[in-house]
Amino acid sequence: MPFDLAKHSTMEGPQGPVVIVVMDGVGLGSRGEDDAVALARTPTLDGLLAGHPHCPLRAHGTAVGLPSDGDMGNSEVGHNALGAGRVFAQGAKLVNGAIQTGDLFGGEVWQSILKRGRAGGALHLIGLLSDGNVHSHIDHLFALIRAAADRGIHRLFVHPLLDGRDVPESSALIYVDALETMLTKVSDAGGADRTYRIASGGGRMVVTMDRYEADWTIVERGYNAHVHGRGRAFASATEAIETYRAEDPDLIDQFMAEFVITDENGPVGTIADGDSVVYFNFRGDRALQISRAFEDGDDFDKFDRGQRPDVLYAGIMQYDGDLMIPQHFLVKPPAIERTMGEYLARNGVAQFACAETQKFGHVTYFWNGNRSGKFDDDAETYVEVPSDRIPFEQRPWMKAAQVTDAVVEAVRSGRYPLIRVNYANGDMVGHTGNREATILAVQTVDLCLARLVKAVRRAKGVALITADHGNADQMYERNKKTGAIKTDDHGNPQSKTSHTLNPVPCLLVDYSELDRHLTLRQDPSAGLSNVAATVLELLGYTPPEGFDASLLSGSVDETKPVAP
């Protein structure tokens, strides 16, 4: 496939770099008392918005490949769209379609699972229990349960991971009750020979769902609970949740410790030889490590797995096509190819990407179309700043300063025509539901922007500042009909820990000193996928065929403004 990039007929690249800044989780909110972005002191961002072209971009729903416009965006699909320059059908939409057509249950992997089940092996379903539709959806879990029952699997165990992040922070019992009701109904319908029940679980931020190898003890904790039945014992998941909440009234679902369901004989659903395991999350970043724990051979050294059972492990999707993780999967992932990064690398254009651990894979793996590694080692430089392993609200500045140090140095070096950076603060701190800490997180990003744009200006470059989705822009739950902030029994606002449906800013800061006066189209349908073509034009290239249109719009008559 040719990757030639033609020079733009009228647009000249700047003397300095084009720097793409992703303010993760910083959307355009209501500017009310729940909007941490508006409440933050942001003199840099305010000054840039007052003096440079900007426009809103859609960052949720169909604009990023999700099933409907009621689906909030997320960092995975947002960075896919930013890097690919087009919209691809994403995990939730692909799984929905595969369930509707029956394709999910027609492949060889599902048939192998059925064969093991009919021979007496149990089917274990591990994944995030919610309808947040960011990593998983409870409807997909229910479809797997129904299909297993219909096709003769006698023993099935669910290992639910509690959300409280993409859904209300203390909503776990809603989903557990629904799951228990279904399991009881399906189990009773099969008679004495059928056992369908919950076996283990825990909160997503402390059990199983680590990402980017930030903390393998999270995976170890989950693996031991799911596989070996090691963990605090309870008679039911409901008892576990209620007990943990009684012991710590401030505990929210995502941070709940692991639990194991036991009866008079011990753990009810450990994973044994001959069993099958399906990880039903469709999103890849928090699926890779647990997949490796099940699939890697004897050279696995992240933790002691103990006696490894002989199981068939499958993901509902393949989470990394290059590394083939996992080897077995039920639904083909989106085939994202011809990304902006690949085009530039194939043309020898040097690129620099930087983020701290929590978002490092977003500016590399997701940006490059769910592809691990580099397209060209000589053309690409990736810098990961290790994240702290403490609750984000306790240190809302995170590693933004160190990330900025690395990016400013890259700007000054003159080596990279394209630089991309992600500031994780607005998203990671926003997920804690702590409004005051999130205000500090946004202010941190603003302080770092001041340093970064100064370096871009000195280098006579261009900064394109945007976000991948909203989060910090709405810190309280609101009534969907009235818009009023929801309160608890004591009159306190209910914290919102999930992403929002709000648009995100896109801000063009041109310090190139070229004889041009660029502006951005005000198009209500424009989304994150329009950014790639915009960047390529700023670099002096004609966007490839099929890329969504550039946001750049002609020239303006007024004198080019000077920003802080």
132 phi, psi to nearest 5 deg: -65, -25
How big is the chain, counted in residues?
A: 564
Nearest-5° Cα angle at 363, 360 to 366: 100
Residue 170 CA to residue 242 CA, distance in Å, equals 11
Q: Which of 9, 68, 75, 187 is catalytic?
A: 75
Residue 480 CA to residue 494 CA, distance in Å, equals 14
For residue 524, the tally of other CB atoms under 10 A from its CB is 8
Residue 394 CA to residue 432 CA, distance in Å, equals 10
Q: Which residues of 358-375 are buried (b: 16+ CB within 10 A; e: fewer)?
A: bbbbbbbbbbbbbbeebb
Residue 17 CA to residue 306 CA, distance in Å, equals 50
Which tokens hold the place of 201? 């679980």
Q: Which residues, at least 6 apart from 184, have a Cβ–Cβ distance to it below 8 Å?
A: 196
Nearest-5° Cα angle at 212, 211 to 218: 45
Sign of CA dihedral 215, 217, 221, 227: positive
Which of 390, 433, 482, 426 lies closest to 170 in space, CA to CA?
Answer: 433
Bridge partners, residue 325, by sequence: 320
512 is catalytic: no
For residue 555, the tally of other CB atoms under 10 A from its CB is 12
Which positions are catalytic? Answer: 75
